[in-house]
Structure 1
Amino acid sequence: MYPEMALGFSPSISIRDSLSLRFCSKNPSRSLFSRAKLRPYTHRRAQLSFMASAHCNDTQTQPCSSPSPSPSLLVFSGGTAFNGVVEELKKVTTRVAHVLPVSDDGGSTAEIVRVLGGPAVGDIRSRCLRLSDESTSEALAVRRLLGHRLPIDPSDAKLEWYRIVEGEDPLWDGVSRPYRETIRAFLVYFQDQILRRSDESFCFSNGSIGNFFFAGARIFFQSLDAAIFLFSRVSQIPKESLVLPVISTNDRLTLGCELWDGTIIRGQNEISHPTNGRTEQINKDYTSCSALPSRIKRVFYMSSEGSNLLHEVFPSVNPMVLEQLSKVDCIVYAMGSLFTSVCPSLVLQGIGERISSRSIPKVLLLNSTHDRETAGLSASDFVTAITDSLNRTCGAPHKSLNNHPSDYINAILVPRDGQVPVDTDILASQGISHVVSVDSIRDPKAGVIFDPKSLIKALTDLICKTAAIPVKHPEVLMSSS
């Protein structure tokens, strides 16, 4: 059976024909591959990109057989905090567009970007895995393989990587031949791309197999959208669940931030979890990081070589994100890193315009604790940061908006016993009177977090309560309830 048949591809788009794999040695001390005849075919990339686009469009245009279709949501988030409630959300609705940034430059992703370039795929891979199928033993095996991380020790990591790419590691147990051939083909292609860059030594330490597969697919098809489509099919994500990069690009993106004291910080990781050049695992406990010299004024995109405000660039938003913003029943700003996970998606031109035009629930899930980016902020400060990002208040004046906070947020869900102060009087002055306290639980690593079941129930109750009554400003309806 051809791997492309397992993925639903036409046999004319043959991955096996496109990848001529030549294993020359099973000895990790020697070169793993001969110079493989691996090259992307433009017409095949175009066909796959078209299929991906058609797949996304079909999920929105096909009529729902249920008389009461489940609600549709668009969630702005990063790749970590919101993952904890994805499993619970899937029980209520799979009609969710997950919008994620592609500017992460830490961890396993950083090494891929350093050697091979391109956008960061770590957050997208993380969300795809959370959405992947778990209903069969093979689905679980595929999820286990793509979710696996290599050892921290570089030598051990390289040895295990060789076993995996040779198809000899126990991680392949339970993965059928079609899926094995397909996944392994792109892992081989990823390895070939590394070997072609002989001037760069790639470090496999703590590397994510899913990231390597994703990067191989992106480079082969020269399309981030096509790579997401392929990954979605391999991991059997529900067709109505969309994982959307906020910027659809094949280029490297660099995030910068400007502090209120004028300081410019380059790089997402340096903003949120600086490592001072060390290659160790990222410690996301903000108490282990030095405090910022001043609060964050705004985040923006920089050219790959830039180091100051003169190097600011203005990438275009993914059109699919704007399309989904026009269709969904609810917009959610998820908990997590406010300035490096959520705001990078909000500062792009077109996002604020589209959100402010919708009369639907627009919900902020407030963080339970502070981090390096938000130390000292209250709930109203979170609202202000989101409003300023969507209005592009601190950017170029001719590109800015002047919308009110309530045009972007009309409800806030707050974790009970959270550490972020909820200043209801100031929130009310911002036009936000609907604040709901949600049950929380204590996580051994993250501390107090939303209880996933309670959070999803509160969110769906909010949507159901407002969706049936046409009002111009949903916050008026909710505040009077």
Structure 2
Amino acid sequence: MSKPKIVVIGGGTGIPVILNSLRRENVDLTAIVTVADDGGSSGRLRSAVNIAPPGDLRNVLIAMSDMPRFYADILQYRFDEADGPLAGHPLGNLIIAAVGEMQGSTYKAIQTLSRFFHIEGNIYPSSDSPLTLHAVFKDGHEVAGESHIADYVGIIDHVYLTETETGNAPIASKNVVKSIMEADTIVLGPGSLFTSILPNIVIPEICDALLKTKAKIVYVCNIMTQRGETEHFTDADHVRVLHEHIGASIIDTVLVNIEKVPESYMNTNKFDEYLVQVEHNFKGLKNENVTVVSNNLLKLRDGGAFHDGEAVAREIIAISHRQEVKI
């Protein structure tokens, strides 16, 4: 049997967890990673060097590599706050920025570093240009910049992207559309709905490819709601928002965690953006015309609630090996 082709789309800290587990399976793996981050080290570098922000790409490079833990720790090393212009920059971000400047492209830099770190699979930034994420709220107010969205008190209606430098509509990176069209299974998330997942799929070419692909599309629903984004959202609300942005009901299967996060477990000082556990609305999910796979997908560590990468990977592999094909 040929390896199932699995494409994972997202960003932030969510998708590295499942990519690290999926890379150990007998699959042809591709990651498509958001480039709309404008905060922290990534934001400072994209302004200084005019490159796509490297932070999410760095995390994916590490997750998909079999490099020793010590090497990963070097790439993740963050300069001390007393280090002047270098303060707060992870070393890996600086390396990606340097190679990107050498080769004139973040896309080329990631392909070079993928070979350098012996990655089996593909990593593509969703666009080769830095993008600005715009959030339009229900009251009509608009906020530009991913790092500012959670600061406005309101309910997000929709998001869209522009190229930061030109203001034009974003263009997908090379091979992104091709990988979506050739995939057997496409995984959305896990990750922040409005700032990690949607910044990929609202790129017009990616949205169009998701509408046309014959691949099974799986959404890994978040475990916790997120301040300024998905407050009071159920799992069905997450799926509804994705379908509204895409313009059609394309998700075939939703993975939902049914294990309870212990009361008062979350370290609210460390994870202050996360609020409460996402509630289930199985009737709402049925109305979205999706198949629901519910299981214990929870992993508690470091005072936070995360997806168990191995458990999620097992479900994705099982879905990928099912024989039904879209018509």
The TM-score normalised by the length of structure 2 is: 0.88
SS class of match (1:118): coil
* CA shift in 2, pair 1:462/1:304, >3 Å: closer
Q: Give the corresponding residue for 2:146.
A: 268
Q: Which secondary structure state, in structure 1, belongs to the residue aligned with residue 283 of structure 2?
A: helix
| CA–CA distance in structure 1, aligned partners of residues 213 and 294 of structure 2 | 22
**Residue 206 of structure 2: aligned partner:** 351
Rounded Cα–Cα distance in structure 1 between residues aligned with 2:300 and 2:69: 27
- 1:338 maps onto 2:193 in alignment: yes
Taking a change above 3 Å as real, the CA distance of residues 91 and 379 of structure 1, as seen in their structure-2 partners, is: same
Give the 3 Å change call, closer, same or farther, for CA 471–100 of structure 1 in structure 2.
closer
Cα drift, residue 441 of structure 1: 2.4
Q: What is aligned with 2:257? A: 415
Partners of 2:86 and 2:169 in 1: how far apart? 33
Which residue, out of 438, 453, 456, partners 2:313? 456
Structure 1: unaligned runs, 5 residues or longer: 1-67, 156-202, 275-291, 306-310, 392-402, 473-481
Confirm or deny that 1:131 pairs with 2:64: yes
Which deviations, in whole Å up to 9, do the C-alpha atoms of 1:249-285 show, x marking residues without a partner?
3xx322111111111111111114x5xxxxxxxxxxx
- Helix, strand or coil for the counterpart of 1:370? strand
Deviation at 1:319, TM superposition (A): 4.0
- Whichever residue aligns with residue 233 of structure 1, its letter is R
The alpha carbon displacement at 1:129 in A equals: 1.5
Higher relative contact order (CA 8 A, sep 6+): 2
Which of residues 137, 142, 154 is equivalent to 1:259?
137
* 8 Å contact from structure 2 (residues 51, 105) kept in 1: no
**Based on CA coordinates, which of the two structures has the bigger radius of gyration?**
1
1:137-156 CA-partner distances (Å, limit 9, x unpaired): xx55543432322122235x
Q: Secondary structure at the match of 1:434?
A: strand
Q: Is 1:247 equivalent to 2:127 in the alignment?
A: yes
Q: Is the 8 A contact 1:105 1:267 kept in 2?
A: yes
Q: Distance in 1 between matches of 2:39 and 2:63?
A: 20
Distance 2:196 2:43 in 1: 16
Shift of 1:94: 4.8
Partners of 1:438 and 1:458 within 8 A in 2: no
Structure 2 CA distance, aligned partners of 1:446 and 1:335?
15
Which of 214, 223, 231 is equivalent to 1:375?
Answer: 231
Shift of 1:318: 2.1
- 1:132, 1:143 within 8 Å by CA — same for their partners in 2? no
Aligned residues: 310
Instruction: Provide the rounded CA distance (Å) in 1 between the counterparts of 2:27 and 2:293.
Output: 26
Q: Does the 8 Å contact 1:143/1:235 carry over to 2?
A: no
SS of the residue 2:86 aligns to: coil
Aligned equivalents of 1:230, 1:463: Cα separation in 2: 29
Match for residue 303 of structure 2? 445
Instruction: Work out whether residues 105 and 269 of structure 1, in 8 Å CA contact, stay in contact via their aligned partners in 2.
Output: yes
Cα distance in 2 for residues equivalent to 1:223 and 1:99: 16
2:24 aligned counterpart, secondary structure: helix
Match of 1:301 in 2: 161
Task: Provide the aligned C-alpha RMSD in A.
Answer: 2.1
1:342 match: secondary structure: helix
Q: Say if 1:379 and 1:421, in contact at 8 Å, map to a contact too.
A: yes
TM-score by length of structure 1 reads 0.61
Q: CA deviation at 1:88?
A: 1.7
Q: 2:220 and 2:163 mapped to 1: Cα distance?
A: 31
How far has the Cα of 1:361 moved from its partner? 2.0
Structure 1 contact 300–312 (Cα < 8 Å) conserved? no
- For structure 2, which runs of at least 5 residues remain unmatched after alignment? 261-276
1:50-449 to structure 2, matched below 5 A, reads 68-134=1-67, 142-154=71-83, 203-238=85-120, 241-249=121-129, 252-272=130-150, 274=151, 292-302=152-162, 304=164, 313-372=168-227, 373-391=229-247, 403=248, 405=249, 408-417=250-259, 419-447=277-305, 449=306
Distance 2:209 2:31 in 1: 16
Distance of aligned partners of 1:124 and 1:220 in 2 relative to their CA distance in 1, 3 Å threshold: same
The code of the aligned residue for 1:431 comes to N
Judged with a 3 Å threshold, the aligned counterparts in structure 2 of structure 1 residues 118 and 361 are, in CA distance, closer, same or farther, namely same
Name the structure with the higher strand share.
2
